[in-house]
Amino acid sequence: MQQILYQHIVEAVNEFPAGAIRQRYASAALSWRHPYWDWAAEPPAGESVLPTSITSQTITVTMPNGTATIANPLYSYHFQWVDVADFYYSPFAEWNYTMRAPSDWSSSAYSEDNLVAQALDNGRISFRDRLYNLFTSYNNFTQFGNEAWMSTSDVSNTDSLEALHDVIHSITGSRGHMTYLDYSAFDPLFWLHHTMIDRSFALWQTIYNDSYVEPMAALDPTFTVKVGTVLDVDTPLVPFHSNANGDFWTSTKVRSVRSLGYTYTDLGNDSIDAVKANVNKLYGTSAGIGGLSRLKRETTGEADPDIDAPKEVVNGKHQQYLANIVSQKLALNGSYAIYVFLGSFDDTPAAWPLSPNLVGTHGVFAGLSTSSSARVRNKEGPGITVTGSVPLTSSLLAKVQSGELPCMDVPTVTAYLNQSLHWRVGMYDGTTVSPEDLEDLMITVVSAEIEPADSVHQFPKWGDFTVLTNVTEGKPGGC
Ligand SMILES: [Cu+2]
């Protein structure tokens, strides 16, 4: 993909007459690599986390004979033709362009990127906190990477980069191509999103460089792998050839992104301290944990007029709260979402993604029921139990600041959550599903203490997790 784009860049550069502009583009092409879209870091003031470079329908570009306005290739992919056998399900088979938040479910629908941008902005704190928790609390590759739920007893590592990746798919599509496994890669945003996932993994790998792929039986079928086949570091990554002899890439061969001819600026020289400092800066310092410097000042007991919520920290420790969610991936014959709220919300499904009291969304990413992969999955698989985790801490801190919650200690928060924590299950077509009817749904609130880091080069230390049984017990899906 990157190589093909590079070839197009070189062709475009060669259309320019010899001179300064061509020289500049030619040298830029040499260091060009596929960009990533960071959906977790704070966007520039006044801008959406979904930048206009992605949402503008047209862009102005420099051509050999002046400037021209063209269709923005990042806004949508224009299908050369749409084969009904591939898209199967109306109206996907009638759409000539990839869609984001399609205005309706008909052939004349149009994208509503503004709704996607608003939903992403409303969810960004949750994405950022999830990413930061993954960096600071997950040291095992399988737990960090995989959304499959493998343990009935471990409540500490129920999130994963895969689950976080899923919710971005769900929201960016909002029932358009990105929301469905089989169609998502047609949207140009898919590649910017996946490069962000690749980058997040590379950052994590630098920090936890001793943990990697462990042998594991496949839970999900592909065209070449049957459910139950044990996969390990040397399993061929079909269909990706590593050379002209027909050999395939393997996990061992791609352990470092540099073996594929690129790297990320944030990786620096693989200094763990430097990567941790980058992660703290981008995803931690303004995060719900209160910020390293603020926590430090509080623990040293120095008076600081900027501290407006002194009840956050008790004995130098800070209490974290998370809602862990377990459910069946294929339970509803399509992608669905579990919305978690703190306090009141409008009970119209269309309003949920934009609700000010939405704490986070757990997006379950599946195929449409009639798509080919869904048919294969339903026939072959025994079901896939998946899990994700919605951090509650940032929202709880906001409730402390607004005076709605007196403090962050466990008894107070437990009582508050018992009254104020709510969840709803929705499909992306506006249909709602009663939590009782979602197979194996299990929502558990857990808490852990964290100890602030001593410096910007370190991460906070997480203590043991405990289950707060009094929060969700007796409610649909609660336990
Ligand atoms: Cu994806």
Confidence of residue 303 (pLDDT cuts 50, 70, 90): very low
Residue 302 has pLDDT above 50, yes or no: no
Angle, helices 393-402/410-420, rounded to nearest 10 degrees: 90
* C-alpha of residue 59 to centroid of ligand 1, in Å: 26
The two tokens of residue 259 are: 């073996």
| pTM of structure | 0.91
pLDDT at position 86, please? 77
Which one-letter DSSP state was computed for residue 97? B
CA of 169 to the centre of ligand 1 (A): 6
Q: Which of 229-233, 282-286, 435-439 has the highest mean pLDDT?
A: 229-233
Q: Is 392:321 a contact under the CB 8 Å cutoff? A: yes
R_g of the chain computed on alpha carbons? 23
What is the average pLDDT value for the chain, to the nearest integer?
87
CA of 456 to the centre of ligand 1 (A): 31
Does the structure show a pLDDT above 90 at 264? Answer: yes
CA of 289 to the centre of ligand 1 (A): 28
* Alpha carbon of 159 to ligand 1 centroid (Å): 16
Return d(Cα 266, Cα 264) in angstroms, integer: 5
* Cis-peptide, bond into residue 35, ω within 30° of zero: no
Phi and psi based region of residue 66 (left: phi greater than 0; alpha: psi -120 to 50; beta: remaining): left
CA of 477 to the centre of ligand 1 (A): 27
Give the domain ranges of the chain. Answer: 310-472
Ligand 1 mean position, distance from CA 412 (Å) = 39
- For ligand 1, the distance from its centroid to the CA atom of residue 437, given in whole angstroms, is 27
- Average pLDDT estimate for 185-203: 97
Mean pLDDT for 52-71 is 95
pLDDT given for residue 297 in this prediction:
40
Judging by beta carbons within 10 Å of its beta carbon (0-12, 13-18, 19+), is residue 387 exposed, middle or buried? buried
Q: Answer whether residue 72 shows pLDDT above 90.
A: yes
Q: What are the backbone dihedrals phi and psi of residue 267, each rounded to the nearest 5 degrees, phi first? A: -75, -20
Per the CB < 8 A criterion, the answer to whether 359 and 474 are in contact is no
Distance from first CA to last CA of the chain, Å, rounded?
A: 45
Output the pLDDT for position 332: 82
Quote the ligand 1 centre to 180 CA distance (angstroms). Answer: 9
Q: Cis before residue 215, ω within 30 degrees of 0?
A: no
Q: How far is the CA of 392 from the centre of ligand 1 (A)?
A: 25
CA–CA separation, 422 and 472 (whole Å): 9
Specify the higher pLDDT residue, 107 or 37: 37
What pLDDT, in 10s, does the model give residues 328-377?
Answer: 888 887 888 999 999 999 989 999 999 999 999 998 887 776 555 554 55
Q: Which residues lie below 8 Å from residue 174, measured CB to CB, with a gap of 6+?
A: 100, 101, 102, 112, 115, 116, 119, 353, 428
Looking at the predicted structure, is the pLDDT value of residue 471 above 90? no
Ligand 1 centre to CA of 166 (Å) is: 7
Q: Which helix (H) or strand (E) holds 447?
A: strand 442-451
For residue 315, name the pLDDT band (cuts at 50, 70, 90).
low
Examine the pLDDT at 379 and tell me if it is beyond 80.
Answer: no
Contact predicate 207/141, CB 8 Å: no
Say which CATH superfamily domain 310-472 falls into: Haemocyanin C-terminal domain (2.60.310.10)
Give the tens place of pLDDT for each residue, 399-414. 999 999 999 999 999 9
- Tell me the C-alpha to C-alpha distance, in Å, between residue 189 and each of 193, 195, 464: 6, 10, 38
For residue 178, is pLDDT > 80?
Answer: yes
Q: If you measure from the C-alpha of residue 194 to the centroid of ligand 1, how many angstroms do you get, rounded to a whole number?
A: 6
